[in-house]
Every structure is written in C-alpha cells, then in structure tokens.
C-alpha cells in the first residue's frame, strides 16, 4: 500500500517506519524536516532508504489537507495527532483513504484505575494537557468512524522506549536518576517500587502498529499496546541499572509525601505510577498475531544509555540535589511538611 506517516522521525515513529518498509509498503513521511532526535543520533536512520519525505507543517491545515487529498494515499498513520483540532483535520485530509491509524496513549486512562486490567473502553481520566488532547482526538476519530467518514484504528501505547530523549522513572521524566544509579547514589521510589508498570521497545511497538495497516478486522478497533509480561518498577529500574553492572539503592517513601515535597519531579507519580498499571491485551493478541515483543529492557539498556550519553541527554546527578535533600529529611518531612507545602518552603 501507499502509506503516509504523519511525523515519522520520533521514538515510536522510527519503529513504525522500519516495520512498514519490512512489510513492503511504499512509505512517505509528512513532517517539518528531520527531528532533533535523529540529528542527535537517537533515531535508527535520518530517513531510511526508500522513504519519500514531504516537507510541511500539519498545523498549516489548508496546505496539509490539500497535500493529503492530492496524494491520495491508501493508508495513513498519524503519529502526531495531539488535539481534537488535529483529528478534525485528519478527517478532512484523509476522507476517501482506506485506513487511518491514530496513535493515542494509555495516559488517557490516567489516575486511579476504575478496573484492572484496564481496557481500551475503561473510563478516561487524563491527568495533563497531553492526555486530555489525545482523549479529545480519540473521540473525534471514533465519531468519524461511526459516521462512515473514515475507517479508523486507534493504538494506545504504554511507555515506549528505544529512540527517545530520556529515560523516565517511577517519579517522573527527568533523567538525572540514571546518573545517580551509575554513581551508586540512592533513588527515591514509592510503594517500595513494587507497583506494576508497562513498557515496550519502539521496534516491537512499531511492528504491531504496522501489521494493522490495511487489515479489515482492525477497522474500528482500539488496541492497548505493550509487552505481555507483568513487571514492577523495581524490575524496570534494575534492568536499566544492569547496564552499569551495579545494584540500585532504593529509598522508599510515601507517594503523598513525595508529591508534596517534590511537585516538579513527581508528575508521573501523581498522575499514574502510584497505582498498578495492568492492561487488557487480549484484543491485540486476537487481531495482530505478528505483535510478539522480543526486545527486553535489560538487553537494550546499554545501547540506549550509550546513545543518550553521546547526545548529552543524561544530566549529571550533581546538577540537582533535591533528591539528596529529600532522602536526608524523609522522617522530618513526614511529620512537618504541611499538605501542599513544597520542599523549598520547609525549614
């Protein structure tokens, strides 16, 4: 099929494009140019051989939509549909296209789970602007599919890694913690890091997404996308630390205390990772048997960390001493820090 990928040079996109090519599709990218991920050496290739690039900005709605209508692609994979307005533009741009694959996120299911395992149809509880935008886009595209305007498939990936700019942790998204582990410094966790988290390599995720393109039984479906096995945050941190050949020194603290004491460093904990994240993967097993995640975090961690080090994207642990201050003051903070009072205001 003639497939356009809107975006195509980011983390998940890199795996999607590689898999589309492996399946024999004719692939075109639509984006503003090579991203800083590839300029920093974080992508698989700047643009894989045989891929055509159409330069443009999808937020120039008229030009984007005119280009897509003129090209008349068989299928589209939109990696950068972040809002209802983006989704409405997709409906106009791809009317008449055989298949639109929209990449959403499990972040739309944020907060305390209404049920376990969480399903694609579980109540949406987006906790930030990104997740709210994705949820709104999902609604627009579901309505378009129901009206018969555009055949749509939605994927909701969990954390996907491989070509990204940093390595999240249970608390949040800053990567200082990686250098802390490398230097033998302790890291803070909540619930003794025993809560379940879900993640997947971008190449494995890309294979699952690409395999759905043009598949009739995937039309109108929404799939949560992540590895099969159940793993904890302790497993996650230890697999990354295996790249350094040293154990992780965990310091446990109540989630509420950490969120109050370090609001700027605990966004993920506040929204998602203070609860188990367990997902129903039966739909993707049923409809996309090609999705068989094979790349483990432990196997990929050395290359991932080396890539980020070369790009200067793992900050020096000494550049932020907040974690040391909290560890040193946990007992006092538990009794003295008032609700809503940040660490900086504590004596």
Q: How far apart are CA 126 and CA 110, in angstroms?
A: 5
Provide the residue-wise pLDDT of the chain in tens; the chain has 347 residues.
999 999 999 999 999 999 999 999 999 999 998 555 554 455 445 688 899 999 999 999 999 999 999 999 999 999 999 999 999 999 999 999 999 999 999 999 999 999 999 999 999 999 999 999 999 999 999 999 999 999 999 999 999 999 999 999 999 999 999 999 999 999 999 999 999 999 999 999 999 999 999 999 999 999 999 999 999 999 999 999 999 999 999 999 999 999 999 999 999 999 999 999 999 999 999 999 999 999 999 999 999 999 999 999 999 999 999 999 999 999 888 777 655 555 543 33
Which DSSP category does 192 fall into?
G
For the chain, the residue count is: 347
Closest to 84 (Cα-Cα) out of 126, 119, 32, 31: 126
Omega of the bond leading into 117 within 30 degrees of 0 (cis) = yes
Q: Would you give the end-to-end CA distance of the chain in angstroms?
A: 64
CB count in 10 Å sphere of residue 4: 24
Residues 6+ apart with CB under 8 A from 258: 171, 188, 190, 266, 269, 326
Prior bond of 130 cis (ω within 30°): no
- Fold type of domain 2-163+200-225: Rossmann fold (3.40.50)
Which residues of the chain are in CATH 3.40.50.720 domains? Answer: 2-163+200-225
**Torsional sign, CA 4, 160, 112, 278:** positive
Query: pTM higher than 0.85, yes or no?
Result: yes
3-state secondary structure of 312: coil
């Amino acid at each position: 099929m003639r497939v356009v990928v809107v975006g195509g040079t980011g983390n998940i996109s890199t795996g999607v494009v590689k898999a589309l090519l492996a399946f024999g599709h004719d692939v075109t990218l639509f984006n503003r140019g090579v991203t800083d991920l590839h300029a920093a050496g974080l992508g698989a290739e700047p643009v894989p051989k045989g891929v055509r690039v159409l330069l443009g900005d999808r937020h120039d709605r008229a030009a984007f939509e005119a280009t897509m209508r003129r090209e008349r692609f068989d299928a589209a994979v939109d990696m950068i549909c972040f809002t209802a307005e983006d989704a409405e533009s997709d409906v106009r741009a791809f009317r008449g296209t055989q298949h639109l694959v929209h990449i959403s996120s499990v972040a739309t299911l944020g907060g305390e789970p209404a049920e376990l395992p969480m399903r694609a149809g579980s109540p949406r509880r987006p906790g930030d602007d990104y997740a709210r935008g994705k949820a709104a886009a999902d609604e627009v595209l579901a309505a378009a599919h129901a009206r018969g305007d555009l055949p749509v498939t939605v994927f909701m990936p969990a954390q996907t890694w491989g070509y990204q700019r940093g390595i999240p942790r249970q608390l949040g998204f800053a990567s200082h913690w990686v250098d802390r582990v490398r230097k033998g410094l302790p890291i803070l966790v909540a619930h003794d890091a025993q809560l379940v988290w879900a993640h997947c390599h971008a190449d494995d995720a890309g294979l699952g997404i690409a395999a759905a393109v043009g598949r009739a039984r995937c039309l109108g479906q929404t799939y949560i996308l992540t590895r099969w096995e159940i793993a904890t945050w302790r497993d996650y941190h230890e697999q990354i630390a295996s790249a350094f050949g040293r154990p992780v020194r965990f310091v446990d603290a109540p989630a509420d205390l950490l969120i109050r004491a370090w609001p700027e460093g605990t966004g993920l904990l506040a929204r998602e990772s203070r609860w188990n994240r367990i997902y129903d993967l039966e739909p993707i097993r049923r409809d996309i048997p090609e999705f068989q995640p094979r790349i483990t975090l432990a196997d990929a961690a050395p290359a991932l960390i080396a890539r980020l080090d070369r790009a200067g994207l793992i900050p020096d642990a000494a550049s932020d001493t907040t974690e040391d201050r909290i560890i040193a003051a946990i007992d006092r903070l538990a009794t003295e820090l008032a609700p809503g009072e940040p660490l900086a205001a504590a004596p």
